[in-house]
């Protein structure tokens, strides 16, 4: 899933709460996944604003218990800790299960002398993530409407004004 085509709908949702069909489909795709791989360029010591904005408008709990593999790209490997200092805390906050090994790719990984190092890091991280996915199994979908209703049903249960 590319966020660039969703840039305008993401900003509209943030400003007005109105969700375009394309963005709604993206939300549903995320909610229906058994795991996601989330990748962003490193911008100014963090993720890109567009990447963060998507997760800011994603409905609450959409990532709860979701296995997530995080990755980032950047001009130099000196920024690789953006994965540990920006992406991992955000996904932990969203109650995702973040795979322990993240993948960072810098300009040098794409240079002519790069060798197989990036491929090996990807393979190792992917193997970890595959084990995590197997261990987690198919993801239990939460019915948030039912969860919302449980609280009011409990309150109404104590209410004698009903018919």
Partner 1 sequence: MGSSEASGMQFGIFTVGDVTPDPTTGKAPTEAERIRATVAIARKAEEAGLDVFATGEHHNPPFVPSSPTTLLGYIAGQTERIILSTSTTLITTNDPVKIAEDFSVLQHLSGGRTDVMLGRGNTGPVYPWFGQDIRNALPLTVEHYGLLRRLWREEVVDWQGKLRTSLQGFTLAPRPLDNVPPFVWHASIRTPEVAELAAYFGDGFFANHIFWPTSHTQAMVELYRRRFEHYGHGTPEQAIVGLGGQAFMRRNSQDAVDEFRPYFDNAPVYGHGPSLEDFTALTPLTVGSPAQVVERTLGFRDYVGDYQRQLFLMDHAGLPLKTVLEQLDLLGEEVVPVLRQEFAVGRPAGVPAAPTHESLLRARTADEEPQTDSEDNPEAR
- Please give, one letter per residue, the 3-state secondary structure of the chain: CCCHHHHHHHHHHHHHCCCCHHHHHHHHHHHHCCCEEEEEECECCECCHHHHHHHHHCCCCCCCCCEEEEEEEECCHHHCCHHHHHHHHHHHHCCCEECCCCEEEEHHHHCCCCCCHHHHHHHHHHHHHHHHHHHHCCCCCCCHHHHHHHHHHHHHHCCCCCC
Which residue lies nearer to partner 1 by CB, 12 or 109?
A: 12
Can residue 156 be called a binding residue for partner 1 (CB under 8 A)? yes
| Size, binding site for partner 1 by CB under 8 A | 23
Can residue 2 be called a binding residue for partner 1 (CB under 8 A)? no
CB of 37 to partner 1, least distance (A): 28
Residues 115-154 binding partner 1 (CB under 8 A) are: 145, 148-149, 151-153
- One residue of 3, 11, 37, 122 binding partner 1 per CB under 8 A: 11
Binding interface with partner 1 (CB under 8 A): 11-12, 15-21, 24, 145, 148-149, 151-153, 155-156, 159-163
């Amino acid at each position: 899933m590319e966020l660039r085509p969703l840039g305008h709908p993401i900003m509209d949702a943030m400003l007005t709460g109105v969700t375009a069909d394309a963005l709604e489909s993206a939300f549903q795709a995320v909610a229906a996944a058994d795991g996601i791989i989330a990748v962003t360029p490193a911008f100014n010591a963090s993720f890109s604003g567009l990447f963060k904005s998507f997760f800011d408008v994603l409905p609450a709990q959409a990532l709860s218990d979701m296995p997530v593999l995080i990755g980032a790209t950047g001009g130099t490997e000196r920024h690789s800790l953006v994965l540990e200092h920006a992406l991992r805390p955000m996904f932990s906050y969203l109650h995702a299960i973040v795979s322990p090994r993240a993948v960072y790719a810098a300009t040098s990984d794409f240079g002519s002398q790069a060798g197989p190092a990036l491929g090996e890091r990807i393979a190792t991280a992917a193997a970890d993530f595959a084990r995590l996915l197997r261990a987690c199994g198919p993801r239990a979908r939460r019915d948030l409407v039912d969860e919302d209703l449980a609280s009011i049903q409990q309150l109404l249960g104590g209410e004698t004004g009903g018919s």
